[in-house]
Amino acid sequence: MPSATLLGQAVVSGLLAGGLYGLLALGLSLSWGLLRLVNLAHFALALLGAYLTYQLGTALHLSPWVAAIVLVPAFFGLGIALHLLFARFRVTEFTSLLVTFGIAVILESVIQWFWTADYRRYETPYASASFKLGPVFVPLLELFACLTAATLALATWAWLRFTYVGKALRAAAEDPAIAGAFGVDHRRHALLLSGLSAAYAGAAGTFIALIATLAPSQIWAWLGVVFAVVIIGGLGNPVGALLAGFLIGMSESITMAVVAPAWAPLVSFSILIGLLIFRPERV
């Protein structure tokens, strides 16, 4: 049995890592839940954002925060462009899996072509900055990523809950024809939501660049665990995605501390399978 300090450290690290899971899950959950598009390219977009942050920082010496101010709006536009493509070819929930898988493979190749398959590490002065909370280390960057995820999740929740556009999006997710009969222009809203989802991928990318070691194949490393987070959190539910991120992040890091790192995926997928067995109506 590990010491209390080690456990405490595992809880904090897990929470912080979970924030990044939540941030990645957010955009995916929105497009899946509200547009019925399963966007496998979401991870590729996030990693592209990470590489671009890295490139702007190393080649142009642009601070990652300035890079984010450029990248997030650019990704918003990219998301709209992608959705126009999906709408043009009448992509459905099922075919979206195939199409976005293809886009993910293409983006992986593009990343590999520009940056090679070598591992890249973006060194920044604050990469190792942390403070001590009692005996536990809290890395600043990961804390900031976590706070950003929480802010975006809550803001998105409030937007969906309280604005007419948000209500229209939820209504159209359930019955687009009837929502249309009351004046909801779902195609315009879908573009907005796709842009937002890609912008979230861009924001996640900035943090991935700062926190993780970059390699093109990272796209697939995120896939399983973030899918679990999206489903556990409930499709189209931003706060659910955030909380599920915390849950999976913590269960992984506690498993790593108590048992062994290799067991971590088993625990997160057991949670997912348990949920699908006992609460299937949530999916």
Q: Is 164 in the site for other proteins (CB under 8 A)?
A: yes
> Residue count at the site for other proteins (CB under 8 A)?
17
For residue 138, what are the β-bridge partners? Answer: 131
| CB-side neighbour CA atoms (13 Å) of 89 | 13
| Contact flag: residue 277 with other proteins (CB under 8 A) | no
184 or 199: whose CB is closer to other proteins? 184
239 belongs to the binding site for other proteins (CB under 8 A): no
Mask for 102-131, x = binds other proteins (CB under 8 A): ------------------------------
Q: Are strands 130-133 and 136-139 parallel, antiparallel or unpaired?
A: antiparallel
Q: Which of 133, 178, 266, 276 binds other proteins (CB under 8 A)?
A: 178
List 186, 197, 204, 208, residue binding other proteins (CB under 8 A): 186
Helices (H), the chain: 4-35, 41-59, 64-88, 93-115, 140-162, 164-174, 176-181, 186-211, 218-233, 238-258, 264-278
Residue found under tokens 């222009």: 185
Contact window for other proteins (CB under 8 A) among 57-65, 139-147, 170-178, 264-272 = 170-178
191 makes contact with other proteins (CB under 8 A)? no
Question: Which are the contacts of 241, defined by CB distance < 8 A and separation ≥ 6?
Answer: 22, 25, 26, 28, 29, 153, 229, 230, 233, 234
Task: Choose which of 167, 223, 256, 275 interacts with other proteins (CB under 8 A).
Answer: 167
- Is the CB of residue 271 less than 8 Å from the CB of residue 248? yes
Quick check: 179 binds other proteins (CB under 8 A)? yes
Q: Of 93 and 185, which has the nearer Cβ to other proteins?
A: 185
Closest C-alpha among 22, 20, 29, 19 to residue 160 = 29
Nearer to other proteins, 36 or 170 (CB): 170
Residue appearing with tokens 């088993």 = 266
Task: Kindly list the residues in this chain that would bind other proteins in the complex (CB under 8 A).
Answer: 164, 167-168, 170-171, 174-175, 177-186
